[in-house]
Structure formats: C-alpha cells, structure tokens
Amino acid sequence: RKEPQLQGGCIWDWVDQGLEKVSETGEKYFAYGGDFGPPETPSDGNFLINGLVQPDRKPNPHFYEVKKAYQNFIVKPYGLNQFAVEITNENFFTHTNGIDILWMVRSNGETLQSGALKDLDLEPQESKKILIPVEKFQMVPFNEYFLDIEFRLKKKKGLLPKGYLIAWEQLPLINFNTMKLEFDPNILQDNYPKLNHVTETNNEIVITGNDFEIIFSKKTATMDSWTFQGKNILLRGPKPNFWRTPTDNDFGNDMPKRMAVWKHATDEAQVNDIKVDNYDTSVGIEVFYNFPSVESRGSILYVIYGDGRILVYNKFEIGKGTLPNIPKVGISMQIPKEFDAMTWFGRGPHENYLDRKSSAKVDIYSGKVSDQFHPYIRPQESGNKTDVRWATFRNVAGDGLLVRGLLSLNASHYLQEDYDHGFGEIKSGATGNIKTTKQQRHSIDMVERDLINLDIDLIQMGIGGEDSWWAQPLEKYQIKPKNYDYSFTLMPIKSDENPVELNKNAFLK
C-alpha cells in the first residue's frame, strides 16, 4: 500500500505439503522430509511445511493475519472524539452496494451501541470521510472503549455465505497506556485487609491472611505452596525466563545458537539474596538474581496483601558485555491442571505475537488451555496472546487464579523441555553456514503434563517470516539487550467474582 503502482505481500505456499501417515499406536499425523526411506535419507526436513493451511486444509493461525492484511476495505481514524473515520474501498471493480457496513461501540466484551451505515456508497478505489452516528455517552474511568467496524456480505457469494465477514477494523477510543499507575508496593494498601501472620525461619517464609496461606521457600526462592480456601492454586514458581521455544523461522536464522546464552540465563539463574520487608498491611519479599551466562542481574519483588493478592515486580539489569538480542522478558510458573478454563481480555481468539497481531481483535475470549496449543506439523512455540489486560484460570467450580497487567501471556500443558531447542548436533545449511539441527518431531509426540505452564511476559520477540532460512524479525520487533521492568498482579478468584469488576482501578506499570 505504500507504493500504489506496486503489488506485493505474495505468499510462497498455500498449504503445508505433508502426507498423512499412521503411527504404530494408530495415531494419524502428517509426515514430512525425513519420515520416508531408510535412516540418513537426504531431505529438506520440514522446509515444505510452510503453508497458510495444513494438509487437510485446516487454517494455521497465520492464515488469519494474511486475511486481515489482504482485506480490501480500510478504515482510518481522523477525529475519534467525534467518531470520525475515513473508509476506503480498495477494490478495483466492486461497489459497496453488496456489503453491509456495521459499527459497534464495545467495552469489556459488551456492545453498548450499534448500527449500520446504510447510506454509505463507495465506488471502487473511492475514499470518504464520515461521522459514525454514535449517541453521546459517559465513559466510565478506567474502562476501555472500542469502535468496531465490520464489512459483511449482504447475500451469498460463491462459497461465501450471507453475512460473511470480509473486512473489519477496531479503533480504540481511549489510550490504555494512559490509564496505568506507577508501581508502588503501598498502592491501595488502606483498602486491603491486613495479614494475619508472617513467620520467617531459616528455610521458609509463611504468610497467612484471609482464607489463604503462602509458603515461600528460601531454598528455591519461589513459592512452594499457595492455598486459598484450602485449595492449592500454585505448583511452583515464578522464576525469571528469557527463552522461547524456537519456531521454524528461529531455526532458519539460527536463533537457538545465536541466542543460546539466554537459555542458559534462564536455566542457570543464581539466587544472590532474599530480602523481607514488612509494610503496614502487606509483606514484601524480594529475590535478587545473578545471571552468569550474560553477566547481568535482576530481581523479583512480591508484595503480598491480606486478601491473598500478590503484586509482582520483575526487574532486569543488563551487564556491560556485548550480548545478542533477547527472545523474551518474563517469568514462568506452573499451576494445577484443573484450572484449565481460561478467559482473557486481550487479543484473540487465535495466537498472536508482536509482529503478527493485527488480525487479533481486543475482546474477552474463553477456551480450554489445551485449545491454545496449535498442532503445527512440527511442534514449536504456539498459543501466545499479546496485549492481555487480565486472564483467569478456573476449575469446574469456577474458582481459580486471576492475572492482570498489560502482558504477553502463554498458557499450555507443556514445559520448555518438551520441545526441541536445537542444542544437539550441527550441520551445514543451504547457505553454507553452520546451523543447528532440528529433531524429527510431530505434534502427536507431545504429551500433555498434569499442569498448566504460565509464561507471564513483558514482551516476546516477533516471529518474523520475510524468509524462513536466514531473516530475523524486523528490527522493531526485536528485543534489544538493555534494562527492563514490568509488574502484574496475581490473585485468587472465586466463582462469584467478575474479573471485569476486580480489574477496575488496578492498573500497574
């Protein structure tokens, strides 16, 4: 679109070119290079597994990003305080008379107002500036509001049914970033109940409050136990995490080798000190880390209140040496598998990443944790959600855990060690450079663990894809080696509690 006389954005392959096979246990999977012939038979591995859809034509998540990028109706704001927008019909031959143009004002997953632009006529290649006929309403402080505009078929067209969504745009009516408060362990202290007891020994710190108990281990520098109303809501963690499971694009640009020090920083983090501070209505536990492989340091501060909520402040301070870019900045923790009913307010419903999220609308979504994992033909990073304001994980009774902040979040039944990280043998790639070798893996090789792994991150680097054999993500989607800090809240949530209400007036740095 930058150059009107040029055409681009063409996708190499439409479909993953795998063939269905059946395993010895009777499970169907799609085979690729290396799955045929005797051992050591030459192949290009899964290089041909690079389509928008899988061999059975089920869409891969990036399918939706391409659809959004290719849409032929463009909406741009030019005065949202008056609900003024410019709409462009990029089609060369199609008029809008076959399209229903609908608008909605939405907040917290609900439609407040809606209507249709029945009198808007756009010739091919025509643009018009219009006012959306939204009735005046009072915006509630600390709520977010969006103007959604949809383009749907008025009647069936070929394979597409009546009402099919062919284009959409979502315009924020308020800047979420302006709504956040600076981190302060004393924020809202006076509104929280006091702790009952804080007991410290040589081995642990035990904190008790209204219906909850937390046992913080000095040996592991993590929470060994967190119970609420007698139910355990934590298995272990949190711990600093700088690593993401490599994607095919990562293997192509040799990320497992180039950025290996960040995997070592995650696995070999050393606890330098643990500091305990008692506030008026809370206790602060700060863990100080050294990361020898990157000659850097960091800390995680936990501020625990009497109602069981924990404010987590994660800080990383880069060392003086020359370091590669960072795959991600965040923490990992594990919670019981029973809390597998996931609801989140953020981008969705499909997975999305820093450079692949324009197709993921901000809304409230729900699903099982197991459904967030996408069965790529060869297992790799999947299921991430960006711009998450809050997320809940509940059991069948409706009780569970609430996470809130402004986060990149990934929930799955797998740990990092269940994936291939490319630290085995090396071989010469097509360019003549020495690259890490992928293991021969398939989605049926993944066995769910009896847990939920939560990666709660400030940021994860982009997926890339300009090519799949050397290009890194674009510069603006890389994570440079520098200081980072962010915060979020963990808190128990009961079946009768609404996360939308709990989230009000609780925005953190």
The mean pLDDT of 164-188, rounded to a whole number, is 71
In a domain, 130, yes or no: yes
Q: Which pLDDT band, with edges at 50, 70 and 90, does 19 fall under? A: very high
Segment 265-311, tens digit of pLDDT? 999 999 999 999 998 889 999 999 999 999 999 999 999 999 999 99
Q: Which of these ranges, 6-20, 65-79, 325-339, 372-386, has the smallest mean pLDDT?
A: 6-20
Boundaries of domain holding 267: 189-503
Pair (305, 156) in one structural domain = no
Q: What percent of the chain has pLDDT over 90?
A: 82
Pair (377, 453) in one structural domain = yes
Going by C-alpha positions, the residue among 188, 220, 181 that lies closest to residue 204 is 220
Pair (220, 352) in one structural domain = yes
pLDDT at 184 over 70: no
Pair (158, 264) in one structural domain = no
Pair (348, 445) in one structural domain = yes
In whole angstroms, give the CA distance from residue 57 to residue 64. Answer: 13
- Can you give 334-353 as a three-state secondary structure string? EECCCCCEEEEEEEECCCCE
Pair (153, 293) in one structural domain = no
Cα distances (angstroms) measured from residue 504 to each of 139, 347, 372, 394, 495:
13, 19, 27, 20, 18
pLDDT at 148 over 70: yes
230 versus 280: which is more confidently predicted? 230
Q: Strand 282-291 and strand 400-412: pairing?
A: unpaired
Q: What percent of the chain has pLDDT over 70?
A: 93
Mean of per-residue pLDDT scores for the chain: 92
Q: Which pLDDT band, with edges at 50, 70 and 90, does 507 fall under? A: very low
- CATH number for the domain spanning 431: value is 2.70.98.10
How many independent structural domains does the chain possess? 2
Residue 438 has a pLDDT of: 86
Pair (149, 276) in one structural domain = no
pLDDT at 393 over 90: yes
Pair (127, 152) in one structural domain = yes
Please answer whether residues 203 and 297 qualify as being in contact, where contact means their C-beta atoms are separated by less than 8 angstroms.
no
In a domain, 474, yes or no: yes
Residue 190 has a pLDDT of: 56
Tell if the pTM clears 0.75, that is, is over it: yes
Segment 419-451, tens digit of pLDDT? 998 865 555 445 555 667 788 999 999 999 999
Segment 97-123, tens digit of pLDDT? 999 999 999 999 999 999 999 989 999
Residue 9 has a pLDDT of: 72
**Which of 112, 140, 174 is the endpoint of a domain?**
174
In a domain, 227, yes or no: yes
- CATH number for the domain spanning 162: value is 2.60.40.10
Q: Which pLDDT band, with edges at 50, 70 and 90, does 341 fall under? A: very high
Residue 508 has a pLDDT of: 39
Q: Which amino acid, residue 142?
A: F
**Which of 174, 200, 224 is the endpoint of a domain?**
174
Helices (H) and strands (E) in the chain, counts: 6, 28
In a domain, 24, yes or no: no
Residue 191 has a pLDDT of: 64
Pair (160, 270) in one structural domain = no
Q: Which pLDDT band, with edges at 50, 70 and 90, does 157 fall under? A: very high
In a domain, 279, yes or no: yes
Q: Which amino acid, residue 154?
A: K
Pair (260, 124) in one structural domain = no
